[in-house]
Amino acid sequence: MSLNSVGLRHDSVNFVETVALSAAVMAPSASMALNVSLIGGLVGTSVCLPFLLATVITLGMSVSIIHFNQVYPNSGSLYSFTKVGLGRSLSWVSGWSLYLAYLTLVIGVSGALGSYVSTLLSMLDLHVSWLPLSLMLTVVMWIFSYRDIKLSTKVMLALEGVSISLIVILATVIFVKTVAGGHWTWKPFTLPIGHGASLAEGTVVALLCFAGFESSSTLGEEAAKPTRTIPLVIAGTIIGIALFFLLSSDSQELGYLARSSMGPLADSTMPLVTLASYYVSPAYATLTIMSLTLSLFSCVVGCACTSSRLMFAMARDRSFFVAISSVHPIFRTPHRAVHSTMAVSVITQVLFDVLIHGRGTDLYNYTAYVTALSMLLSYALVNASAVRHFFLRSKRWPSFLALISALSLVAALYAIYANLYPVPPYPMNLAPYITVVFITIMCTLSWVSSRVSTISDTESITTHHDAL
């Protein structure tokens, strides 16, 4: 039980606000800014093909999560879904894996946000290190996450909406100019010549752009008509963002192919900004950088909201310290879980700057491997849970749905393998150890918490019996 009788506010988040949370965590604008050139380095000009394959795989992975949301909507998300089919112990692994993914996104994206704002200020001859900027913005994001979920989703919707709109406008301008100039080509959608072996690696990177598609599941107790709303949001968000990914990645590759003087897309560190400057104006390029900071801001708020609800559900279920399950009496948010997540983020950012002396973008790059491994592990477990519960145990599923989930399990395991081998350079090679140590420690705390709760309940029953 929670410490008080106040719970999350039911039926308080509408369909659009639920979409906003899901889109914010996926941060499609930031993904297009950071990952398309990386994919281009793996597959050459065929940057759209990995996104097509990743869309199919993500839709397959979503089958299990959608069906769980139709039957067991819960703020515990994949933790609760894994518990249904695989039991409590593996649900701890799934829950803490997913929490670690959200936590590292909060930490890493906060660092990247500080770096982007620092870059913006340097254009105005104001030179400020990324850390104070990141910490200042973290406090602001902390406040949004702590307050009413409706306020948070409205902010996320506005920020990500502006960012996506600017990128769509840029893509439209590039398409118009490349078609008018006779530079249109289907190369971004063709099989990569000479890069066939890297297509799988490119698909793994594209797959990670969809990470967080399940985040609306944490609104299972706050969304209006969750058994209908959340499945629609998950499926619709995947399809809508997939179209955005294809539009943006195609326009980026076409833009670089048409302007050979810019060099290949794979060599660009900020392709969207470069394209905005070439095809529109330097002012629009500055506006594009600003829009990316908005996307990063909304991503942190979204991840803080989802991670806190996941931790809250685990604490309420006595799989973590019960005190964390406290809900704010006015805002009806899991405030202690929010404080825990954001405090860890602040401490990690400070330690990284003091000990490593790296940039905020370095913090993002280092934590990204942990995010990938932990999130994929949770995806694998929830698909295994679905096959066991809906197909083997309850016989609710036909064979083809079980096959889709089984193949999705294999895809998640392969993606984990692809992030481990070949061994990435230091310090990214530490990601598996960090992931295993964190999950082990947190699962141990879950075991201790559950044992303490059991002993406490037994003593309470005994005392009550003696009093009678």
**Tens of pLDDT, residues 67-114:** 999 999 999 999 999 999 999 999 999 999 999 999 999 999 999 999
Q: Is residue 8 part of a domain?
A: no
Give the pLDDT band (50/70/90) at residue 453. Answer: confident
pLDDT in the model for residue 458? 53
Give the residues across from 223 on adjacent strands.
13
The verdict on residue 279 lying in a domain is yes
Output 325-330 pairs: Cβ under 8 A, ≥24 positions apart. Answer: 325/1, 325/2, 325/3, 326/2, 326/3, 326/4, 327/2, 327/4, 327/6, 327/7, 327/8, 328/6, 328/146, 329/4, 329/6
* 429 in a structural domain: no
Read off the pLDDT band of 463 (50, 70, 90). Answer: low
Peptide bond into 329 cis (omega under 30): no
User: Is the per-residue pLDDT at 1 higher than 50?
Assistant: no
In-domain check, residue 174: yes
- Residue 180 in any domain: the answer is yes
Does residue 10 lie in a domain region? no
- Could you list the residue range(s) of the whole structural domain that residue 114 is in? 15-311+335-422
Beta strands, E only, 358-462: none
Query: What per-residue confidence (pLDDT) applies to 34?
Result: 82
- What is the per-residue pLDDT for 461? 47
Residue 374 placed within a domain? yes
Domains of the chain: total: 1
Q: Count other C-beta atoms under 10 Å from residue 280's C-beta.
A: 18
Give domain status of residue 428, yes or no: no
Residue 7 has pLDDT above 80, yes or no: no
Write the CATH number for 380. Answer: 1.20.1740.10
Average pLDDT, the chain: 90
pLDDT at residue number 465? 46
